[in-house]
């Protein structure tokens, strides 16, 4: 058995964990990051792709390693499509802000490059089992290293940045599942295809056959999703059938088709842990909350949590001041619940629930018109989608 010591033990080398290690290092606070995946798995797992303007601005702090502005694409609006017509929500016009289409695994490549160059201790293939001593000044992460040997990391503070199946959560909430929870009766069928873009901006489409999202990755690769049954088998449909399903959900546009080389099903859940911090342990990112992907909030919310926790940890570890830590859950929760609402709202406004009545359908079209025909409606959507002001900066 090996026991090591650090100031902050960060479980999870996703955007939240890696970015926190960067901010702490900037304040001279040493940390160790562990993750049960390999570096290759982390850098290649396909996740969502929208960065709020504030997220891009704070990622600039990793310097030349951040390629969001050079490789990513700035988007100044989205299209809401329903009843056969498209309606552009112009972000610049309404809130003077933009978002960047830059996939999460590219953000992770940038963060890993930056942290590795800075000499950060990151251990891949290390599986955290549980955390003990959150109530003491020296909490310990019990883990198994890449060789299968027991590893204990003793720290001044433990951060659970270990995603929706967090093992740190139990040390914070008292159970691995304790939280506010909502499930949706549908999922997304996601594809990656070799084709030119079908549109310049993202299309969020409501149709009688359900929702579709037309997104992009590059000039030659596109990402698209359509609403499906959560139990659907991703292998069951031929490429031709997939194009048919997508095409009928975006009436009024013609998609540019091409070879579909990847398919996956994304489950829809909304979740917020009952507690975000207990003693010397705290949760950030998906370990603390999950949002359905319709609002494009997941990674942005993780970065916002980290900004709040970073300042609280600096006060605790550099000055012995616990006050900001005591406020962490309350400050982070305010943004988390705004994002929960926005993600739920976009989801419920755009998808067709399996049990939707004619009344529900017509009411939903009324809701969509309320948004696109109103300056206030468009401004609310633009403000939420591009991201509210951050409560705490770098």
- Say how far apart CA 269 and CA 338 lie, in whole Å: 16
Instruction: Respond yes or no: is residue 204 known to be catalytic.
Output: yes
Helical H segments across 288-374, by residue range: 298-319, 323-350, 358-372
Question: Which of 102, 184, 328, 385 is an active site residue?
Answer: 385
The DSSP string of 85-123 is EEEEEEHHHHHS--EEE--HHHHHHHHHHHHHHTT-EEE
Question: Can residue 343 be called a binding residue for ligand PHB (CB under 6 A)?
Answer: no
State the nearest-atom distance from the C-beta of 77 to ligand PHB, in Å. 13
- Residue from 49, 160, 179, 210 in contact with ligand PHB (CB under 6 A): 49
Q: Which residue has the tokens 């901006």?
A: 201
The residues with which 335 forms a beta bridge, in sequence order, are: none
Cβ atoms 109, 43 nearer than 8 A: yes
Question: Can residue 10 be called a binding residue for ligand PHB (CB under 6 A)?
Answer: no
Question: Can residue 75 be called a binding residue for ligand PHB (CB under 6 A)?
Answer: no
Which residue number, 4 or 192, has a Cβ lying nearer to ligand PHB? 192
Question: Can residue 364 be called a binding residue for ligand PHB (CB under 6 A)?
Answer: no
Question: Which of 73, 94, 109, 204 is an active site residue?
Answer: 204
Cβ atoms 63, 117 nearer than 8 A: no
The pair of three-digit structure tokens given for residue 344, joined into one six-digit string: 């739920």
Residues 291-310 that bind ligand PHB (CB under 6 A): 293-294, 296
- Say how far apart CA 2 and CA 322 lie, in whole Å: 30
Question: Can residue 166 be called a binding residue for ligand PHB (CB under 6 A)?
Answer: no
**By CB under 6 A, how many residues form the interface with ligand PHB?**
10
Question: Which of 22, 73, 75, 94 is an active site residue?
Answer: 75
- Say how far apart CA 20 and CA 394 lie, in whole Å: 11
Stretch near ligand PHB under the rule CB under 6 A, chosen from 47-55, 66-74, 311-319, 351-359: 47-55
Cβ atoms 311, 318 nearer than 8 A: no
Question: Can residue 50 be called a binding residue for ligand PHB (CB under 6 A)?
Answer: yes
Question: Which of 289, 297, 311, 351 is an active site residue?
Answer: 297
Question: Can residue 48 be called a binding residue for ligand PHB (CB under 6 A)?
Answer: yes
Stretch near ligand PHB under the rule CB under 6 A, chosen from 10-18, 43-51, 85-93, 109-117: 43-51
Q: Which of 256, 189, 263, 202 lies closest to 229 in space, CA to CA?
A: 189
Instruction: Respond yes or no: is residue 184 known to be catalytic.
Output: no
Residue 266 burial (C-beta neighbours within 10 Å; 0-12, 13-18, 19+): middle
- Residue from 55, 215, 378, 386 in contact with ligand PHB (CB under 6 A): 215
Q: Which of 325, 268, 316, 319 lies closest to 294 in space, CA to CA?
A: 268
Binding mask 108-147 for ligand PHB (x = CB under 6 A): ----------------------------------------
State the nearest-atom distance from the C-beta of 294 to ligand PHB, in Å. 6
Q: What are the catalytic residues? A: 75, 204, 293, 297, 385
Residues that bind ligand PHB (CB under 6 A): 48-50, 202, 213, 215, 223, 293-294, 296
């Amino acid at each position: 058995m090996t026991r090591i010591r650090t100031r902050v033990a960060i479980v999870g080398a996703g955007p939240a964990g890696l970015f926190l290690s960067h901010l702490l290092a900037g304040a001279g606070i040493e940390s160790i990051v562990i993750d049960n995946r390999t570096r290759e798995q982390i850098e290649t797992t396909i996740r969502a792709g929208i960065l709020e303007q504030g997220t891009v601005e704070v990622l600039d702090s990793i310097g030349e390693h951040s390629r969001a502005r050079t490789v990513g694409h700035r988007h100044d609006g989205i299209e809401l499509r329903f009843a056969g017509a498209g309606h552009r929500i112009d972000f610049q016009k309404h809130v003077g802000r933009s978002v960047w289409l830059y996939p999460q695994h590219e953000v992770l490549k940038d963060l890993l490059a930056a942290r590795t160059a800075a000499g950060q201790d990151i251990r891949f293939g290390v599986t955290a089992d549980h955390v003990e001593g959150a109530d003491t000044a020296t909490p310990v992460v019990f883990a198994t290293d890449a060789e299968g040997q027991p590893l204990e990391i003793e720290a001044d503070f433990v951060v659970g940045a270990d995603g929706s199946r967090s093992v740190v959560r139990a040390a914070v909430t008292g159970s691995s599942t304790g939280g506010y929870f909502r499930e949706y009766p549908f999922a997304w069928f996601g594809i990656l295809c070799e084709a030119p873009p079908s549109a310049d901006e993202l299309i969020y489409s409501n149709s009688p056959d359900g929702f579709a999202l037309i997104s992009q990755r590059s000039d030659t690769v596109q990402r698209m999703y359509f609403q499906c049954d959560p139990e659907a088998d991703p292998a069951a449909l031929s490429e031709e059938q997939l194009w048919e399903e997508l095409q009928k959900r975006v009436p009024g546009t013609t998609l540019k088709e091409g070879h579909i080389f990847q398919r996956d099903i994304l489950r829809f859940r909304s979740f917020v842990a009952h507690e975000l911090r207990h003693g010397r342990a705290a949760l950030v990112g998906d370990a603390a909350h999950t949002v359905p992907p319709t609002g494009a909030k997941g990674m942005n919310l993780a970065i916002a949590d980290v900004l709040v926790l970073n300042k609280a940890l600096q006060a605790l570890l550099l000055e012995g001041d616990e006050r900001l830590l005591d406020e962490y859950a309350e400050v982070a929760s305010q943004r988390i619940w705004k994002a929960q609402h926005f993600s739920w709202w976009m989801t419920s406004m755009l998808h067709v629930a399996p049990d939707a009545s004619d009344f529900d359908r017509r009411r939903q079209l009324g809701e969509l018109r309320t948004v696109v025909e109103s300056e206030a409606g468009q401004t609310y959507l633009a403000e939420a989608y591009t991201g509210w002001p951050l409560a705490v900066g770098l």
